[in-house]
């Protein structure tokens, strides 16, 4: 299960040189706007709530001075109250709960514009300074309130709360280390499988295959959603690259056909000119004979010579055109080879990168395994207790979250994302009751 988680005159223009104070202020304002959206690049739909702290900056461009003006009273950090409002100087109370950063920014600009009678709406830069906390309760070592950070998952949140299990500090610490080590090994194994899938795609490219042949360790697990998605992504990437290469080669093939047809036409023209030159030479011979006998004038002889010279010149032009077209044809063949080589070099480069990542993954997995085995040797009782609990009992992890104004309880897995304001509850249950508990929730 997953959740959504100034126009300027010539006198003003120098103000915008890279060394001017105005230029630096504008850059700062632009940077603030970028930061306000960058921190939530992965959470565009995040809705604000009580206890969220916002960092606000409000700027207004004033053409009369040719400089940006910062509304200092509205610059700073402001917390959303329990009623879901922001209390701001000058403009008063602004509703914020259940709204996005963009909506709050627009409200602040509109309120300020209406309040002081500005012609244009000022630009408000709003970003989250700190999120409202989340809470962990139930079968964890240290229940309580914790600070939220983007990207937090359930297993990370439970680790912050000391992990699942009894309240003995030493035992909890050892068991937490064991769980963390096992989690690292699972993550490294998932990364290794991803690398194996990428390697299969690269091998298919280097072997000029028309499809990817994934190894058995992946095809046997294709019913697992994560593995199926991984295979689908690699196949889509393979097909996209193959289509791109084929499109380039097809365009070059068309150029080659055009060049070949042009050569054929030029050769036919050369043959025709050859016949015309042969006839012109015969005609010149007849004219020369008549001139020698005094039966015709020399101007006719001159015209025959000029006709032959013109035909030979045209024949030479055709021959040069044939040579140039043949060079173009050879260049097309070379370009086709270059296209194939470019994609092959790209695949070889990616293969070299994969070798490094395989080696790094293997070393990390070896280290994580050694640490886990060392922990099992140092504290067998803690690991045994962990295994006993695992065999006899299971834990249900639920999140209480406000969705569309309603508080809903959702059963979650370790890698599900945590949102600000969530209440994570861990409860112990026997394996035989797992289905019933899941159905009741």
pLDDT at position 41 is 38
Average model confidence (pLDDT) across the chain = 79
The string of pLDDT tens digits covering residues 222-280 is 888 888 998 999 999 888 888 888 888 888 888 888 888 888 888 888 888 888 888 88
* Beta-carbon contacts of residue 196 (< 8 Å; ≥ 6 apart): 215, 217, 218
Task: Give CA–CA dist 166/153, Å, rounded.
Answer: 22
Paired tokens of 386: 């962990």
Task: Give CA–CA dist 68/23, Å, rounded.
Answer: 9
Which of 339, 132, 317, 146 has its CA nearest to residue 242?
A: 339
pTM score, two decimals? 0.40
The string of pLDDT tens digits covering residues 89-99 is 988 999 998 89
Q: What pairs with residue 5 in β-bridges?
A: none
| Of residues 42 and 71, more confidently modeled | 71
The string of pLDDT tens digits covering residues 113-128 is 888 888 888 888 899 9
CA 175 to chain CA centroid, nearest Å: 37
Paired tokens of 93: 């109370």
Band (152; pLDDT cuts 50, 70, 90): very high
Task: Please say whether the dihedral angle defined by the alpha carbons of residues 273, 276, 281 and 287, taken in this order, is positive or negative.
Answer: negative
Count Cα atoms within 13 angstroms, Cβ side, for 382. 24
């Amino acid at each position: 299960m997953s959740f959504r988680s100034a126009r300027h005159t010539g006198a003003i223009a120098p103000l915008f040189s890279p060394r001017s104070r105005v230029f630096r202020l504008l850059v700062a304002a632009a940077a603030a706007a970028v930061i306000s959206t960058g921190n939530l690049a992965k959470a565009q739909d995040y809705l604000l709530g009580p206890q969220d702290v916002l960092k606000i900056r409000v700027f207004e461009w004033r053409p009369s001075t040719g400089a940006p003006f910062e509304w200092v009273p509205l610059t700073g950090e402001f917390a959303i109250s329990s009623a879901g409002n922001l209390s701001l100087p000058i403009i008063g109370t602004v509703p914020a709960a259940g709204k996005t950063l963009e909506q709050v920014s627009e409200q602040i600009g509109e309120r300020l514009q209406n309040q002081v009678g500005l012609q244009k709406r000022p630009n408000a830069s709003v970003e989250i300074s700190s999120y409202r906390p989340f809470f962990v309760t139930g079968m964890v070592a240290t229940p309580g309130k914790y600070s939220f950070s983007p990207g937090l998952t359930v297993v990370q949140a439970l680790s912050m709360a000391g992990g699942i299990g009894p309240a003995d500090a030493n035992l909890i610490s050892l068991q937490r280390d064991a769980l963390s080590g096992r989690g690292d090994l699972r993550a490294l194994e998932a990364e290794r499988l991803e690398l194996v899938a990428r390697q299969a795609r690269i091998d298919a490219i280097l072997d000029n295959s028309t499809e990817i042949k994934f190894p058995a360790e992946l095809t046997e697990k294709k019913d697992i959603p994560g593995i199926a998605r991984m295979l689908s992504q690699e196949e889509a990437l393979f097909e996209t690259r193959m289509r791109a290469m084929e499109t380039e080669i097809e365009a070059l093939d068309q150029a080659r056909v055009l060049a070949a047809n042009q050569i054929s036409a030029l050769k036919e023209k050369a043959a025709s000119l050859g016949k015309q030159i042969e006839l012109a030479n015969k005609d010149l011979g007849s004219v020369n004979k008549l001139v020698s006998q005094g039966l015709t004038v020399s101007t006719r002889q001159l015209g025959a010579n000029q006709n032959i010279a013109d035909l030979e010149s045209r024949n030479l032009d055709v021959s040069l055109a044939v040579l140039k077209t043949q060079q173009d044809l050879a260049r097309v063949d070379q370009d086709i080879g270059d296209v194939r080589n470019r994609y092959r070099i790209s695949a070889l480069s990616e293969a070299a990168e994969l070798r490094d990542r395989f080696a790094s993954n293997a070393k990390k997995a070896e280290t994580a395994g050694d640490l886990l085995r060392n922990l099992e040797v140092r504290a067998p009782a803690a690991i045994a207790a962990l295994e006993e609990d695992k065999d006899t009992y299971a834990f249900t992890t639920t999140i209480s979250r406000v969705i569309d104004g309603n508080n809903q309880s959702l059963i979650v897995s370790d890698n599900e994302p945590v949102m600000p304001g969530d209440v994570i509850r861990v409860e112990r249950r026997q394996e035989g009751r797992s289905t019933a508990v899941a159905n009741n929730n």
